[in-house]
Amino acid sequence: YQGLAGRSTNEILQLYAAHGQQMKLQRSSVVTQLHGAIKKRLKQDLKSLHSFALELSKDFQRQSKICLYQVLAAVQGMQLQNEAMQMCQMKAFDLEQSLQEVTERYEKEKQKRKALHNSLIELRGNIRVHCRIRPLLPFDDAAGHSVSQDRQRNFSEKAAYAADDETVLVKCSRPGHASVNKTFQFERVYNDLESQDAVFADVAPLLTSLLDGYNVCIMAYGQTGSGKTYTMLGPQLEGNLSFSIEEESELGIIPRATQEVFRLISEKPPGSYWVEVSVVEVYNNEIFDLLAKDSYGKVFGIKRDVVTTREGKSDVPLLTHETVANASEFLHLVNKGLQLRVTHPTLVHAHSSRSHLVVTLTITTVVFGDNFGTLWEDEQTSQRLNKEASCTFPQKMRDNKSTSSSRASSPVQLEATEKIKQVKTRLQLVDLAGSECVGMSGVTGAALRETSFINRSLSALADVLGAIAEQRAHIPYRNSKLTHLLQDSVGGDAKLLVMLCISPGQKYLTESMQSLGFGTRARQVQRGQVKKKNFPVLSKGK
Ligand SMILES: Nc1ncnc2c1ncn2[C@@H]1O[C@H](COP(=O)(O)OP(=O)(O)OP(=O)(O)O)[C@@H](O)[C@H]1O
Ligand SMILES: [Mg+2]
């Protein structure tokens, strides 16, 4: 302002304008500089951004390449794995197929081995032994005798198992007892889950040989409560010893075998076979005819005796034989007979059989003299022969009941007719009373007497088998009525199947070992080739 003093307004204005101009110039140069600087900075930033972006894209490309390689490698790996998996699948399929082939071959070999074994059995007259292990049942836990709770718990555990379908394993280690680990081999072993169907499936082929001219005997052996009656007859209803045909799947061997026999007969020319049944029990070493009737026609057991005939066969004179036309007639009869069978509850179970039951089906086949031992070749011949046969049978069939003595008249009649002969084969079905330890069954008094008779007759049976096995000159059949009665079946004239019944519980270990020992010894008995009756082959179509 000092410099402005004394200057005219004009000059001042000029100065002011010049100053403004200068300021303007200065400002614009600052703006220009600033602009330049910003521009420069922006350029730099852009450049670095650009290089960063470039770097990023390069990195991205690198990464994506790596990823691509990885994806490719993974895809390749997957393809390889897929191929490997396919190879594995193919291998597994091949293995499965060869396993199936091996299994089939094994089954075929097993069947062949069984067939060979069967032929060997037949040639040597061996006794077939099947073994059935029943399931553990509620009464196995029941307090049978004075055992502490701890021991009781051990007792109800299993000791006998079916290791496979031919092996029984007995395994048990009880404190204070020597441990047992033993195996037993039999023709067939049934585990606790196997049904009555499965058991019968193995029995059925024997029935075919019955109609081919062989005698057959199926006998259930085992300690009390081990399932003999269940296996032979079926479950017994509470307070009623009969078995109902409605529960077919539960039926035992006796009713099923009868059904099968009648089925087989139905395939033969009509009228060429007839079936008679007898039911006896051996109680306290006495034989009772359970089909004998009093004068009012009511069934009651009559004591009979067993004798040896001149041919050396056992026979029960006056024994009642009823003719039956079908399985239900048979069931009806056997049911009636069973009402008389002695059973008592014991500490082991409620329906203990106190007698040996022997149900016998006698099958008479009509054979014509001229054709004896030959085939009936055509339907016409068969029909002609049937006509002749049916002329002779009605007399017999009308009677529908006979005893041994009255029965004798029929064969004589028939044999007198020159052309006609009869061949009789016999199916004996035996439900033995149970071998038992007196302490365990808890019996006293009369029941104790029964038990001792049961045990004596069973040991007589074991003695007979022992004597046959040792080929002794004298076989002690007559030591007991049971062995005397079963002499022909046990002694070699029949295909004999023993169905060993085993209770699996530790509680019954001693008895189970005894039964398994009996079965093992029975298998070793060689009775010589089982004889076949001279028999023609009859079939509907031939
Ligand atoms: N396989 C099985 N499955 C189911 N229950 C069974 C089997 N075996 C036996 N039982 C049952 O066990 C009990 C005893 O069986 P069973 O009467 O057949 O014995 P047992 O050997 O005949 O005895 P006993 O010698 O005293 O006459 C019965 O109640 C029967 O129903
Ligand atoms: Mg019984």
pLDDT in tens, 381-419: 344 344 444 433 433 443 444 444 333 333 333 444 456
**pLDDT of 534 above 80:** no
- Rounded to the nearest angstrom, the distance between the alpha carbon of 295 and the centre of ligand 2 is 31
Q: Which bin fits 110, alpha (ψ -120 to 50), beta or left (φ > 0)? A: alpha
Q: Is 342 in the pocket of ligand 1 (CB under 6 A)?
A: no
Identify the domain containing residue 228 by its residue range: 200-524
Q: CA 269 to CA 35: how far, in whole Å?
A: 128
Rg (CA), the chain: 47
Tokens of residue 365, six digits: 């086949």
Q: Which pLDDT does position 389 carry in this prediction?
A: 42
Task: Determine which residue's CA is closest to atom 11 belonging to ligand 1.
Answer: 227
- Rounded to the nearest angstrom, the distance between the alpha carbon of 234 and the centre of ligand 1 is 9
What are the CB-based long-range contacts (under 8 Å, 24+) for 456-461?
456/285, 456/480, 457/282, 457/285, 457/356, 457/433, 457/481, 457/482, 457/483, 458/221, 458/432, 458/433, 458/482, 461/432, 461/486, 461/490
Q: Is 354 in the pocket of ligand 1 (CB under 6 A)?
A: no
Question: Which of 230, 443, 453, 507 is the pocket-test mutation for ligand 1 (most atoms within 8 Å of CB)?
Answer: 230
Say if CB 192 and CB 135 are below 8 A apart. yes
Establish whether 297 is an annotated binding residue: no
Establish whether 77 is an annotated binding residue: no
- Rounded to the nearest angstrom, the distance between the alpha carbon of 26 and the centre of ligand 1 is 126
Q: CA 194 to CA 325: how far, in whole Å?
A: 31
Q: What is the total count of domains within the chain?
A: 1
Atom of ligand 1 nearest to the CA of 220: 21
- Rounded to the nearest angstrom, the distance between the alpha carbon of 351 and the centre of ligand 1 is 8
Q: pLDDT averaged over the chain?
A: 80
Q: Is 351 in the pocket of ligand 1 (CB under 6 A)?
A: yes
- Rounded to the nearest angstrom, the distance between the alpha carbon of 139 and the centre of ligand 2 is 15
Model pLDDT for residues 225-280, shown as the tens digit of each residue: 999 999 998 887 544 444 555 677 888 999 999 999 999 999 888 778 889 999 99
Neighbour-count burial for 517-533, b at 16+ CB within 10 Å, e otherwise: ebbbebbebbbeebeee
Tokens of residue 33, six digits: 């500089």
Question: Which of 131, 133, 137 is the pocket-test mutation for ligand 1 (most atoms within 8 Å of CB)?
Answer: 137
Q: Is 235 in the pocket of ligand 1 (CB under 6 A)?
A: yes
Residue 253 phi/psi, 5-degree rounding, is -65, -40
**Residue 379, domain member (yes or no):** yes
Q: Which pLDDT does position 368 carry in this prediction?
A: 67
**Residue 311, domain member (yes or no):** yes
**Residue 123, domain member (yes or no):** no
Tokens of residue 393, six digits: 């049978």
Binned at pLDDT 50, 70 and 90, residue 116 comes out as: confident
Q: CA 428 to CA 358: how far, in whole Å?
A: 7
Task: Determine which residue's CA is closest to atom 9 belonging to ligand 1.
Answer: 227
Establish whether 225 is an annotated binding residue: yes
- Rounded to the nearest angstrom, the distance between the alpha carbon of 226 and the centre of ligand 1 is 5
Task: Determine which residue's CA is closest to atom 29 belonging to ligand 1.
Answer: 235
Q: What angle do CA 259, 261, 266 make, to 5 degrees?
A: 95
Model pLDDT for residues 319-350, shown as the tens digit of each residue: 999 999 988 888 888 888 888 776 666 666 65
Helix ranges (DSSP H) in 400-480: 404-416, 438-441, 445-469
Q: CA 336 to CA 304: how far, in whole Å?
A: 18
Q: Is 175 strand, coil or helix?
A: coil
Establish whether 226 is an annotated binding residue: yes
- Rounded to the nearest angstrom, the distance between the alpha carbon of 264 and the centre of ligand 1 is 29
**Residue 101, domain member (yes or no):** no
Q: Is 345 in the pocket of ligand 1 (CB under 6 A)?
A: no
**Residue 59, domain member (yes or no):** no
- Rounded to the nearest angstrom, the distance between the alpha carbon of 69 and the centre of ligand 1 is 74
Name the pairing type of β-strands 302-304 and 494-502. Answer: unpaired
**Residue 40, domain member (yes or no):** no
Q: Which pLDDT does position 280 carry in this prediction?
A: 93
Establish whether 227 is an annotated binding residue: yes
Q: Is 417 strand, coil or helix?
A: coil
Provide mean pLDDT across the span 109-120: 81
**Residue 46, domain member (yes or no):** no
Q: Which pLDDT does position 396 carry in this prediction?
A: 40
Atom of ligand 1 nearest to the CA of 351: 17
Q: Which chain residues have CB less than 5 Å from ligand 2, an ion?
A: 228-229, 353
Q: Is 225 in the pocket of ligand 1 (CB under 6 A)?
A: yes
Q: Is 462 exposed, middle or buried (0-12, 13-18, 19+ CB in 10 A)?
A: middle
Span of 76-80, 83-87, 140-144, 209-213 with lowest mean pLDDT:
140-144
Span of 17-21, 105-109, 294-298, 314-318 with lowest mean pLDDT:
294-298
Question: Which of 250, 351, 453, 507 is the pocket-test mutation for ligand 1 (most atoms within 8 Å of CB)?
Answer: 351
Amino acid identity for residue 305 in this structure: D
Q: CA 130 to CA 165: how far, in whole Å?
A: 10
Residue 312 phi/psi, 5-degree rounding, is 85, 15
Contacts of 42 by beta carbon, 8 Å cutoff, 6+ apart: none
**Residue 299, domain member (yes or no):** yes
Q: CA 280 to CA 299: how far, in whole Å?
A: 12
Name the one residue in this structure whose structure tokens are 């007719």. Answer: 417
- Candidates 183, 260, 169; CA nearest to 218 is 260
- Rounded to the nearest angstrom, the distance between the alpha carbon of 351 and the centre of ligand 2 is 7
Say if CB 432 and CB 339 are below 8 A apart. no
Residue 443 sits in a domain whose CATH number is 3.40.850.10
Report the run of H or E that residue 403 belongs to, with start and end: strand 401-403
Q: Which pLDDT does position 371 carry in this prediction?
A: 47
Q: Is 356 in the pocket of ligand 1 (CB under 6 A)?
A: no
Task: Determine which residue's CA is closest to atom 1 belonging to ligand 1.
Answer: 134
Q: Which pLDDT does position 296 carry in this prediction?
A: 76
Q: Is 447 exposed, middle or buried (0-12, 13-18, 19+ CB in 10 A)?
A: middle
Atom of ligand 1 nearest to the CA of 222: 21
Residue 276 phi/psi, 5-degree rounding, is -120, 150
Q: Is 355 in the pocket of ligand 1 (CB under 6 A)?
A: no
Q: Which residue has the higher pLDDT, 477 or 441?
A: 477
Binned at pLDDT 50, 70 and 90, residue 531 comes out as: low
